[in-house]
Structure 1
């Protein structure tokens, strides 16, 4: 891979280049270099001296060093073994070494340890699955302060009626309070990414809403197939009717409920939507409470989405 050309290389990046270690932009390796941004992220994380911090993608350790100053312990998860070696080297002769644990591997395939706060600069391609891995993690953590590409961050906080409002928005807001914290320009990274970024704080709702998230996820998948279409139209689609009919028959079999010979799933779904005042609603305008009401209405009539 050719060297990354830049007139203003950070000291750490320069040292990495001398050792033949180059960042893979395709893998989302953009190292945060601006100390002011790093300070802002650490400050907004409100780390306590007793906290264990999970850092995902520590890179060369610029943010890690500041986290180690604040926290009791930092667990850093890094998939790139070259960067793992650099992290060990950077902290091996410092007072921070006993406070740092490095987990080598893909964070999506790794069992996460206990932590109080999560801090991460996240590659775009794993943003969505990582958000839900964190929000479904137990025991609960206090907050996560995460760097995302700007459009993804705006989708997380989008409200009903917004152009960016989508299944990601409502699923995230079901499980957490989401706030935009700060904008971060592309020139704060080495190498610079093609897009701007935002720092977001997620605070898990504890206790979480008393619903089955897999059921919820199944409902929102259907509703957002075409977010501008009426629910009445979406629940008439053959693939949707077929899948829900299969689930219903399994439910009835397990619950020892008899099914009429002329049972019509399409008619049942339509009746539920009309009865609950949901038929004319569209996902683009439905908030978390609307979806909770819809899920309860279907489940109470034996309609399940998993």
Structure 2
């Protein structure tokens, strides 16, 4: 995949075959030349849905917006009406050329910067708000790339496959509560704000979609993500089993022992060769009261308390 670049498009980026005009309307038409299935992009064609997504962002005239996967620009043109600037990251050069053509010669042209390449590999610019009709295959990388971005942005309005969105916003005890829910909600407040039917896209995807709002916590909790993710990876592998049962899985104790030795080495501590990790883990679970808890019903505070109890006793998950 090409590496993203901050260079603006010129006429030399245009495809050799002349694309079919999208007309003067706001919706735009996907060109047969565009391989939307290859790039995982389904073009949002309903202008009311596009306007609704941009409205939910509550854009300010001073905002710099990052848009991921703009396609032919049905969201972009509405962003440009309200924001100071929009940087759009598009993997398909032909889609990007269509987007540039759409604003060519208009006042909005000066406000648009197109980056050609893979969002996951791109060096992200500063932005206040992120808006995305997200290609399904980068849904999880996009969420955690945004949550790790600094400086912290104000909010993100993101469209995902319905099931992925429901996992993001799930609460303890819900059907979809799991590792993704806990890891994302550790760093942000996430709300479901809109359902979008498959008929609003060209070509229609095989699944329904939803739009979520992500507002990062500022400041973020002082928790090393790799540690929290290491714990949730173990607990939610079988979310309806008890914490004790999950931590008894094959290889867990040897992994914790290896992590302990690494931690001692990094912190100039002497390795205590007498530690029985099975006994220590079971003691921590008994003392903390989480032995018989089931991850499916544990909230963020429960997970943080359990992680803290392990750290207090020299047990690490990364």
Match of 1:130 among 142, 145, 153: 142
Name the counterpart of 2:247.
235
CA distance in 2, matches of 1:11, 1:33: 5
Q: Indicate the SS of the match to 1:207.
A: coil
Q: How far has the Cα of 1:22 moved from its partner?
A: 3.1
CA distance in 2, matches of 1:62, 1:256: 56
CA distance in 1, matches of 2:26, 2:113: 25
1:284 pairs with 2:296? yes
Match of 2:29 among 3, 13, 37: 13
CA distance in 2, matches of 1:10, 1:134: 28
CA contact (8 A) 1:157 1:178 kept: yes
CA distance in 2, matches of 1:55, 1:147: 11
Q: How far has the Cα of 1:85 moved from its partner?
A: 1.3
Match of 1:212 among 208, 224, 235: 224
Deviations 1:15-55 (A, max 9, x none): x23xxx23422532210011100111111100000000000
Q: Kindly tell me: are residues 33 and 261 of structure 1, through their superposed partners in 2, closer, same or farther at Cα, counting changes over 3 Å?
A: closer
How do 1:91-130 residues align onto structure 2 when only pairs under 5 Å count? 91-130=103-142
Q: How far has the Cα of 1:125 moved from its partner?
A: 1.3
CA contact (8 A) 1:23 1:30 kept: no
CA contact (8 A) 1:235 1:270 kept: no
Q: How far has the Cα of 1:250 moved from its partner?
A: 2.3
Q: Indicate the SS of the match to 2:138.
A: helix
Name the counterpart of 2:162.
150
Q: How far has the Cα of 1:282 moved from its partner?
A: 1.3
Name the counterpart of 1:5.
none
CA contact (8 A) 1:25 1:193 kept: no
Match of 1:172 among 169, 176, 184: 184
CA contact (8 A) 2:27 2:45 kept: no
Q: Indicate the SS of the match to 1:146.
A: strand
1:304 pairs with 2:310? no
Q: How far has the Cα of 1:243 moved from its partner?
A: 0.7
CA contact (8 A) 1:241 1:266 kept: yes
Name the counterpart of 1:29.
41
CA contact (8 A) 1:235 1:266 kept: no
CA distance in 2, matches of 1:22, 1:257: 58
Q: How far has the Cα of 1:267 moved from its partner?
A: 1.0
Q: Indicate the SS of the match to 2:237.
A: coil
Q: Kindly tell me: are residues 271 and 101 of structure 1, through their superposed partners in 2, closer, same or farther at Cα, counting changes over 3 Å?
A: same
Q: How far has the Cα of 1:109 moved from its partner?
A: 0.6
CA contact (8 A) 2:26 2:47 kept: no
CA distance in 1, matches of 2:272, 2:117: 53
Q: How far has the Cα of 1:302 moved from its partner?
A: 1.0
Aligned residues: 294
CA contact (8 A) 2:253 2:278 kept: yes
The runs of 5 or more residues in structure 1 that have no matched partner are: 1-8
Q: What is the root-mean-square deviation in Å for CA atoms of aligned residues?
A: 1.6
CA contact (8 A) 1:117 1:143 kept: yes
Q: How far has the Cα of 1:201 moved from its partner?
A: 0.3
How do 1:50-89 residues align onto structure 2 when only pairs under 5 Å count? 50-89=62-101
Q: Kindly tell me: are residues 212 and 169 of structure 1, through their superposed partners in 2, closer, same or farther at Cα, counting changes over 3 Å?
A: same
Q: How far has the Cα of 1:100 moved from its partner?
A: 0.3
